[in-house]
Amino acid sequence: MSITRREALKIGAFAGGALLLPIALQRRGYSLNAGSPQPTPFQVNLPIPPILKPVRSDANTDYYEIKMQKSRVNILPGLTTEVWAYQGMVPGPTIVQTLGRKSVVRFINHIDVSTSIHLHGMASQPQYDGYPEDLILPGYYKDYHYPNNRAAMLWYHDHAVHTTARNVYMGLAGMYVVQDPAEAALKLPQGKYDVPLIIQDKLFASNGSLVFNDDNHHGLMGDVILVNGAPFPRMAVSARKYRFRVVNGSNSRAYKLALSNKADLIAIASDGGLLAKPEPTKELIIGMAERYEFVIDFSAYPIGTQIVLQNLGLPNNTDYDLTGQIMRFDVVSREADDSTVPTTLRDLKLNKQPSRVIERRWTFDHRSEMWVINGNTWDKNRIDADPGAGGTEIWNFQNNSREWFHPVHVHLVDFQILSRDGKPPFPYERGWKDTVYLGENNNIRVLAKFDEERQGKYIIHCHNLVHEDHDMMTQYQIGTTGIDPMSAPAKPLPAPPL
């Protein structure tokens, strides 16, 4: 049996500098003597990350502390895995905030690599946005200030220059939710029926260690899918409606989500919060770093029903025997349900396109073994766009790298998708977005309005984190006298009280 060069690269993997050959790679179509120890799907209950409590609060602000530390956790049966984790857990604890109430989050680095924290989806000032060169060295800490001015599901993750992929892969990711009291009045499923799902794929060695193999800087495709840190979990549900908040936290894998019984996923929110109205869909594509929320109504199913959340696969994703499934819902009881999915969710107040508007083109390509935007690699001294404060522009994202896709993330702004290859965006993409799935040879046009209050340098990059590190990232600047993103550097420990 012959295999391609890329397949051979996927088999030879390293972790911690030592060659580790896992025991049983199971790739669709063939088996080889390498790959992760394969857990039996649907044996582990879905864990829910705990909500982090503030260390103190005042009239306007809640203050939090998160330690970045190494720990050993149980992921695969009978094995332990070293992770680099927020508060020692993977994923990190969830922060839940209220719209308009401020946060100060102190991140303390107790691991032996430099880090930077990006609260993905937050309209942060430049010095608190996780600029990739603004590093927290080992033994240092930094206080990040967040305005919580968008009601949406966000996530926080590492953003250190050229090491983001490894740091996130090792565990540095967590969810952050900003709630709007007005949204609660809609009576969508709440409390224990409002469920976070952070989906990631991993490769493991035979001893349980994480294997970081980026396929010569092309991408990292794992053969075990974790949800909230558990492999292929099961979730016991009642025969009623549930709201699921989904983050694709994978390094390089996109997912096409679908239910095994062909029922609808009722999409209600995207990156920037609620959609205008519910959008039922049989399939939902979620690229890396995208967030979608959907409702599943289990009320029609008898007790004992089992429904699998599937991954139908996408072009140029490496699929293995088990990666066509993500988790399973088991209907185990019946109970009253007073939640609803209203026909109108909110008035999006999308930006209006001016009669005269600047259009910019951003091409995403692979040249000379590097990933480039408009032919350039990352340079902290180069500015590639300068939209005026409060200005509105159309940006064209063009994928010229043929067999690769690029989830494009623009820091600071929420944008709206105007078209996908000249056609309307998917219905569930018609809300506010900060990341967009740019498929093979796609051209996507988006409309963005740039903040008047937050002037300075912000990042644009591919959220295939391997591509970002090598070197598909650039920056734009709002205003000529904006805040320097390096103006609030991390400080050495010990830290004073918050």
Q: How far is CA 206 from CA 71, 77, 169, 225, in A?
A: 19, 12, 18, 16
Query: What tens digit of pLDDT does each residue of 136-149 get?
Result: 999 999 999 999 99
User: So what's the pLDDT on residue 34?
Assistant: 55
Average pLDDT, integer, range 74-101? 97
pLDDT higher than 80, residue 27 = no
Rounded Cα distance between 245 and 183, Å, is: 15
User: So what's the pLDDT on residue 4?
Assistant: 34
Find the largest Cα–Cα distance for the chain. 67
Q: Running DSSP on this structure, what letter comes out for residue 191? A: G
Q: Quick check: 197 and 227 in contact, CB under 8 A? A: yes
pLDDT band at 72 (very low <50, low <70, confident <90, very high): very high
β-bridge mates for residue 269, sequence order: 274, 293
Rounded Cα distance between 144 and 117, Å, is: 8
Q: Quick check: 438 and 444 in contact, CB under 8 A? A: yes
Q: Which amino acid is at 249?
A: G
User: So what's the pLDDT on residue 398?
Assistant: 97
Rounded Cα distance between 39 and 231, Å, is: 7
Rounded Cα distance between 340 and 45, Å, is: 27
The mean predicted confidence, pLDDT, of the chain is 92
Q: Which amino acid is at 125?
A: Q
Average pLDDT, integer, range 455-470? 97
CATH 2.60.40.420, the chain: domain bounds: 56-180, 358-477
pLDDT higher than 80, residue 30 = no
pLDDT band at 468 (very low <50, low <70, confident <90, very high): very high
Q: Quick check: 127 and 411 in contact, CB under 8 A? A: no
pLDDT higher than 50, residue 178 = yes
pLDDT higher than 60, residue 15 = no
Overall residue count recorded for the chain in this entry: 498
Helix (H) or strand (E) holding 5: helix 5-11
Q: Quick check: 149 and 124 in contact, CB under 8 A? A: no
Rounded Cα distance between 286 and 376, Å, is: 27
pLDDT higher than 60, residue 215 = yes
Q: How far is CA 408 from CA 27, 274, 387, 434, in A?
A: 28, 21, 18, 8
Residue-by-residue DSSP string for 147-186: ---S-SEEEEEE--TTTHHHHHHTT-EEEEEEE-HHHHTT
Share of residues in the chain with pLDDT > 90 (%): 84
Q: Quick check: 25 and 34 in contact, CB under 8 A? A: yes
pLDDT higher than 60, residue 228 = yes
Q: Which amino acid is at 33?
A: N
Kindly report the CA angle at 417 between 407 and 351, in degrees rounded to 5? 135
Q: Which amino acid is at 267?
A: A
Residue with tokens 């989050």: 105
User: So what's the pLDDT on residue 71?
Assistant: 97
User: Structure tokens of 71?
Assistant: 């720990």
pLDDT higher than 50, residue 28 = no
Q: Which amino acid is at 6?
A: R
Rounded Cα distance between 104 and 63, Å, is: 5
Name the pairing type of β-strands 325-333 and 392-399: unpaired
User: So what's the pLDDT on residue 352?
Assistant: 81
Helix (H, G, I), strand (E, B) or coil at 468: helix
Domain 56-180 has CATH 2.60.40.420: yes
Q: Running DSSP on this structure, what letter comes out for residue 231? A: E
pLDDT higher than 80, residue 389 = yes
Name the pairing type of β-strands 56-57 and 255-259: unpaired
Q: Specify the higher pLDDT residue, 269 or 184.
A: 269
pLDDT higher than 50, residue 386 = yes
Which residues are CB-contacts of 302 (< 8 A; sequence separation ≥ 6)?
239, 331
Query: What tens digit of pLDDT does each residue of 305-326 get?
Result: 999 999 998 887 888 989 999 9
pLDDT higher than 70, residue 200 = yes
User: Structure tokens of 268?
Assistant: 């209600």
Fold of 358-477: Immunoglobulin-like (2.60.40)
pLDDT higher than 70, residue 498 = yes
Average pLDDT, integer, range 348-361? 88
Residue-by-residue DSSP string for 94-119: EEEEETT-EEEEEEEE-SSS-B-EEE
pLDDT band at 13 (very low <50, low <70, confident <90, very high): very low
Say whether the peptide bond before residue 132 is cis (omega within 30 degrees of 0): no
User: So what's the pLDDT on residue 336?
Assistant: 94
CA dihedral 260, 266, 272, 277 (to 10 degrees): 160
SS (H, E, C) 57-82: ECCCEEEEEEEEEEEEEECCCCCEEE
Among residues 10, 331, 370, which one has the least CA distance to residue 162? 370
Among residues 166, 157, 175, which one has the least CA distance to residue 113? 166
Q: Quick check: 245 and 289 in contact, CB under 8 A? A: no
Rounded Cα distance between 171 and 46, Å, is: 17
pLDDT higher than 90, residue 175 = yes
pLDDT higher than 90, residue 224 = yes
